[in-house]
Structure 1
Amino acid sequence: MKKLGLKKVAVMAAAAFTVLGVATSASADTQSDLDAVKAKIAETEKKVSEGQVALSKLESQEAKTSQEIATLKKNIAARSEQLADQARAAQLNDAGSMLEFVANSDSVTEAVSRTVTVATVVRANNQTLADQKADKEKLAQKQTDLQAAAEKQKKQNKELAQARADLAVQKTDLEAKKASEDEAKAKAEAAKKAAEEAAKQVATAKSTDDAEKAANQAEAAAASVSSSSNNGNNNSNNQVASQTTSQASSQASSTSAAPAASSVNSSSVLAMADSLTKMHIPYVWGGTSLSGFDCSGLTQYVYGHFGKSLARTAAAQAAQTTRIPVSQAQPGDLLFWGEGGGVYHVAIYVGGGSYIHAPTEGQFVKYGSISGWAPSFAGRL
């Protein structure tokens, strides 16, 4: 019987070693992918920072050029008026035109001198005026070029911001996968240790029953790790949501039956929503892009990235959800203000009594608190 027990333990240990090897390999691959995404995020954030600095410089140069153009316009107007004054003064006490001014000279030398003086003054002023107009044209072209460069930079910054948001989602998904694989690895290591311990017990067992009991314990441990390995990935999203929003569970009702689970990946939704709060995106009425969001435009944008098509208004979005009390809201659910067709605001619940929303004009996409502005009800997709 000892030989049979040892054989059974050997099989179970082999199974545990196999699962452990698979779990270790998968975890290593996921960690490699996660490290690569983190490197891309760091690189993208650097580019975002550089892009913001570049845009600030362009806007500063544009403002400076506009001021220079305004100054030149004033100078040109003043110079034009000065030319007119000089032309009038050249008539010399109503003596007539500049021709008369020259003709009334007392000598040929004086006439020549007056002619040179008039010509010099007129030529100098005309040249100054021409130079100012040329400078104005150059500055106008410079301003046009700066405006074009600024618009290009804004577009690049928007693309970088989108890339950063997408990478944040990838990072969250990989972290969820890694957490699941790490748990499977830990269980496999525990099963391996249990199998090794069972082998020792079988070898030293004093009776057939003791040997059989030890072998059965090893078999149960191996079966447990096999089962956890198969189910690990299915639980990863719920694990991450629980880890990142542990405070939310304390708010759930302990007496009511829990509503159906959300049909969206809450961890990915929260990762993207959080990234948008760091991008200084302004509230824009009717806005549905990174250039600006209103409340329902924000939720439509975020959930749309994960295959969930939401209506355009807060009231219509409320009609798409299963209504639940705010106390039962879980991360990834929607929060609504108002009732029925009078729903006027929507936000994304992140847990711990906090939510992310596009508040109102003059503000950016940001976090809010239920204690500061309480919603009327929650909705689950």
Structure 2
Amino acid sequence: MKFGRVVVSLGVAALIGVSGVSLNVVSAASSTDNASQSSTSLIQKLQAAQNKVMKASNDASNLVTQIDETQTAIDATQTKITAYQSQIKKADAEVKSRRAVLRKQLISLQKQVGNSVTGNIYFDFMLNAKDFSDLISRGFTVNKLNQASQEALQAVQDAEAKAKTLSQELTAKKAQLVASKAKLTASKAQFDAAAKQATADAASLQKQVDANKAKLTALATSNNKATAATAKALVDSAAPQAKSVSAATKSQVSKTTGSASVAVQVAHRTRAVAAPSTTGSRSVAPSLHGGSLVANALAMQGVPYVYGGKTAAGVDCSGLVYVAGRAAGIPAFSTYHTSQALSSMGKMVSLSSLQPGDLLFWGGVGSAYHVAIYVGGGTYVHAPKPGDHVHTASINGWRPNFARRI
């Protein structure tokens, strides 16, 4: 009996021991899963906020570009209006001159006629003919004088009417363009506000990343390459980036409370605003001559992000493609295109078969809100957002949605 009890006791103890181990394993696995889910959720939230910043910045850049284009059109229209107004003045002067000549002719006839008998100096001029031959001669003279004067006067009046009509049409067009510019400026202010809000959201989440930096640093060494790359990218883009984005946004927000012309000046001025000093930034614009799209884009590293920027002194994401591509002599990039327009050009290529020079896009075809240039080796170069500058990044750190080859 004692032996049986011992066996039973050992069996129960063994079962309890096994159960305890099993529970500990499950508990540990559950804890690991929860930690992984928490880290993944944090990363996803931060990336969503960064996407929001990118979209708002891209929208604001597009609006600055549209404002610039509208202002250029307004200036061209004003030049035409000035030219037509000059033509009108010349036409008026010619009309006055023709009338003065005609008046002199009539006065001359009046002197030859003397006191009018019929009340019409042309008739009186004819009646004062010395003989039939003189009458015929005077008739020809009157006809030629009258016809020439009338034709000249009518031609000038027609030209004047045409010039005035065109001037009125151009003035109306200018008014429409000014209204469009004012509307775009107001829209830009709205998008600037959205960009500021998105920046605030990113800064808030950045605090969470800072609070969990140890966890993200550990994830950066994960066996999962995508997770590791994303975590490393987030650690590398810590608080200084969020701070610089906020500062740049404040410096580039347009004040649209003034007149339309003031709004345009502000819009143009944002293009010359340099981003706050950040690591890797540069103060001297690179000089690009020839070269390839990739080489030119890499030479632009350190150039600050500027809303609507299209020069080597400052660019936005699509501006980088334009500046680097135009310098390389690529026909497709001889004209500026927004990221939305670029995302519909060329042909679609798989992210698994990328070649240097392919364009990477975030968003959808025809509605992309960010573009970068693939340089090879799983790396791309881009102009991220206000407060940042042109630099390279890993394709696994912030993976694009699709790519196109132009």
- Report the TM-score, using the length of structure 2 for normalisation: 0.43
- Report the TM-score, using the length of structure 1 for normalisation: 0.46
